[in-house]
């Protein structure tokens, strides 16, 4: 019987999360028995055993050991098991030494061996139980396979004929039969999800334009579906080093993890935003006060310039900047009016101080430190009508800076390129990536002249290379510091 929309989350929990909790519980129990047994027979003390067990479990969760896999394979997890236990035992050694001294090496080796054995046996027992449950029709999930090559059908057949895989294929969709915008394909997948309660999307290789499949994968991840991708060039082993990949018939299925943006990770991002913005407002308060005073005396008008922009999920927000231009009756959708920029405004813009009031928007939660830059409603309507994936950039909170900005896409630059990098940032998001973008933003401001010249050189190089590639396949590109030249292949050029 089909579950209602309100029960769909519970259904998904029963299919995948419950299976993961079951595997984690069994593994934890067996590992705890092994660790405590080591303490009971005198190999280590009780404190060391307890710390080793808890730390190993935490490391195991981080390494993806307890994630529900479509095809359980304990052998492929032995490396992660060993690494997790090694860190767990190391944590126990640190705690033990800080308490009242260390233990003999033989004791730690014994604890390590017992913990590896316990975690391995626990995962094996949990995998065996899950396979038995799946074979009886319990805790099974449904998957949609999207692709256009024979591999899509091969994956679907493999999952279908083996009940121990725990996945029923709800549909196989040929992506080449749909327009490249992705809207029709998304509607088809959404319809199947609604009718079958499918909770997994498997993306097999495809031959045509990738926009349709890419947009569907983004939508599915945002909707909470588990998205798996067979990477291009999988024959070379690409994807096997990802976090606990599934393997179906030898093909790696890489879980798309960052696009779904785990709840806890986004909470950490929000906490990071609050801490940095609050600290920034406090530390930079003298500069903010001086800037406000300079704007006030530079020209008549308010200190702050407020404007409506479009933020997360297409919702309107209001952002503030230090006013850098004289007051005018120009329409709100005017791109630039450099002739009205005041002397103070020029300095504020060049140093990016005019953007600092947006730290208040970040503190309120309307913005983030890093994300796609917010745009005005009129331009949003214009751009979304031209660029199919423009709305995809509203999946994350808008930011004070972003990936598009640190690669030089500021000012009068192609919207298509900005959209590409905004979505690239969201698809590959990580908190460490945010830190890197912030550092690069500060560096670009401090070294502004050199940075701008690098962007000009890069744009020129891209244009030269693109032109040469379209003109001839028989060229060698010389991208030396002093010149950009295209040489035809010849013994004299190639050494």
Residue 445 maps to a domain: no
The most confident of 65-79, 354-368, 421-435, by mean pLDDT = 354-368
Q: Quick check: 134 pLDDT over 70?
A: yes
Q: Which of 65-69, 251-255, 356-360 has the lowest mean pLDDT?
A: 65-69
Q: Quick check: 476 pLDDT over 80?
A: no
- Both 424 and 294 in a single domain? yes
Q: Which of 2-11, 418-427, 461-470 has the lowest mean pLDDT?
A: 2-11
Q: Quick check: 491 pLDDT over 60?
A: no
What's residue 210's pLDDT? 61
Can you give the three-state secondary structure of the chain, one letter per residue? Answer: CCCCHHHHHHHHHHHHHHHHHHHHHHHHHHHHHHHHHHHHCCCCCHHHHHHHHHHHHHHHHHCCCCCCCCCCCCHHHHHHHHHHHHHHHHHHHHHHHHHHCCCCHHHHHHHHHHHHHHHHHHHHHHHHHHHHHHHCCCCCEEEEEEECCHHHHHHHHHHHHCHHHCEEEEEEEEHHHCCCCCHHHHHHHHHHHHHHCCCEEEECCCCCCCHHHHHHHHHHHHCCCEEEECCCCHHHCCCCCCCCCEEECCEEEEECCHHHCCHHHHHHHHHHHHHHHHHHHHHCHHHHHHHHHHHHHHCCCCCEEEEEEECHHHCEEEEEEECCECCCCCCCCCCCCHHHECHHHHHHHHHCHHHCCHHHHHHHCCCEEECCCCECHHHHHHHHHHCCCCHHHHHCCCEEECHHHHCCCCCCCCHHHHHHHHHHHHHCCCHHHHHHHHHHHHHHHHCHHHHHHHHHHHHHHHHHHHHHHHHCCCEEEEECCCCEEEEECCCCCCC
- Both 354 and 470 in a single domain? no
- Both 83 and 123 in a single domain? yes
Q: Quick check: 8 pLDDT over 70?
A: no
What's residue 415's pLDDT? 84
Q: Which of 140-154, 289-303, 369-383, 454-468 has the lowest mean pLDDT?
A: 454-468
Q: Which of 89-103, 231-245, 478-492 has the lowest mean pLDDT?
A: 478-492
- Both 122 and 199 in a single domain? no
Report pLDDT digits (tens) over 374-433: 999 989 988 888 887 888 888 889 999 988 888 777 766 778 888 888 988 988 888 888
- Both 14 and 42 in a single domain? yes
- Pick the more confident residue, 440 or 44: 440
What's residue 411's pLDDT? 66
- Both 236 and 276 in a single domain? no
- Both 281 and 236 in a single domain? no
**Domain residues for 356?**
264-439
Residue 369 maps to a domain: yes
Count of domains forming the chain: 4
- Both 48 and 120 in a single domain? yes
What's residue 214's pLDDT? 82
Residue 121 maps to a domain: yes
Residue 444 maps to a domain: no
Instruction: Kindly report the CATH number assigned to the domain that includes residue 146.
Output: 3.40.50.10700
């Amino acid at each position: 019987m089909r579950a209602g929309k309100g029960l769909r989350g519970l259904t998904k929990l029963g299919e995948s999360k419950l299976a993961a909790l079951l595997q984690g519980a069994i593994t934890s129990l067996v590992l705890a028995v092994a660790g405590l047994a080591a303490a009971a027979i005198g190999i280590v003390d009780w404190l060391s055993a307890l710390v080793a067990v808890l730390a190993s479990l935490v490391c195991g969760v981080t390494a993806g050991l307890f994630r529900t896999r479509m095809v359980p394979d304990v052998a492929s997890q032995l490396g992660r098991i060993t690494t997790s236990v090694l860190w767990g035992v190391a944590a126990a050694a640190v705690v033990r030494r800080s308490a009242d001294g260390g233990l003999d090496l033989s004791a730690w080796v014994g604890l390590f061996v017992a913990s590896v054995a316990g975690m391995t046996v626990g995962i094996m027992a949990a995998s065996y139980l899950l396979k038995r449950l799946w074979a009886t029709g319990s805790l099974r999930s449904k998957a949609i396979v999207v692709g256009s090559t024979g591999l899509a059908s091969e994956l679907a057949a493999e999952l279908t004929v083996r009940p121990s895989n725990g996945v029923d294929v709800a549909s196989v969709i040929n992506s080449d039969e749909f327009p490249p915008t992705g809207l029709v394909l998304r509607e088809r997948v959404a319809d199947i999800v609604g009718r079958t309660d499918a909770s997994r999307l498997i993306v097999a290789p495809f031959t045509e334009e990738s926009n349709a499949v890419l947009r569907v994968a983004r939508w599915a991840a945002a909707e909470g579906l588990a998205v798996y991708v067979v990477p291009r060039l999988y024959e070379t082993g690409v994807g096997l080093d990802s976090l606990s990949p599934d393997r179906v018939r030898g093909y790696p299925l890489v879980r798309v993890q960052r696009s779904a943006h785990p709840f806890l990770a986004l909470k950490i991002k929000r906490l990071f935003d609050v801490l940095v913005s609050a600290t920034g407002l406090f530390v930079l308060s003298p500069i903010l006060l001086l800037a406000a005073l300079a704007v006030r005396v530079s020209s008549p008008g308010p200190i702050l310039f407020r404007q409506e922009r479009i933020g997360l999920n297409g919702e309107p927000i209001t952002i503030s900047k230090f006013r850098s231009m004289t007051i005018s009756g120009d329409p709100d959708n005017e791109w630039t009016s450099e002739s009205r920029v005041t002397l103070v405004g020029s300095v504020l813009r060049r140093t990016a101080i005019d953007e600092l009031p947006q730290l208040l928007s970040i503190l309120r939660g309307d913005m983030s430190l890093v994300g796609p830059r917010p745009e005005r409603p009129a331009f949003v309507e214009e751009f979304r009508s031209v660029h199919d994936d423009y709305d995809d950039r509203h999946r994350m909170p808008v930011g004070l800076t972003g990936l598009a900005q640190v690669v030089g896409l500021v000012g009068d630059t192609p919207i298509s390129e900005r959209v590409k990098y905004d979505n690239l940032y969201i698809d590959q998001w990580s908190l460490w990536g945010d830190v890197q973008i912030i550092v690069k933003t500060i560096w670009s401001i401090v070294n502004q002249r050199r940075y701008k010249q690098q962007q000009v050189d890069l744009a020129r190089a891209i244009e030269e290379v693109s032109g040469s590639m379209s003109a001839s396949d028989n060229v060698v590109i010389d991208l030396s510091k002093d010149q950009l030249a295209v040489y035809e292949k010849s013994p004299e050029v190639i050494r």
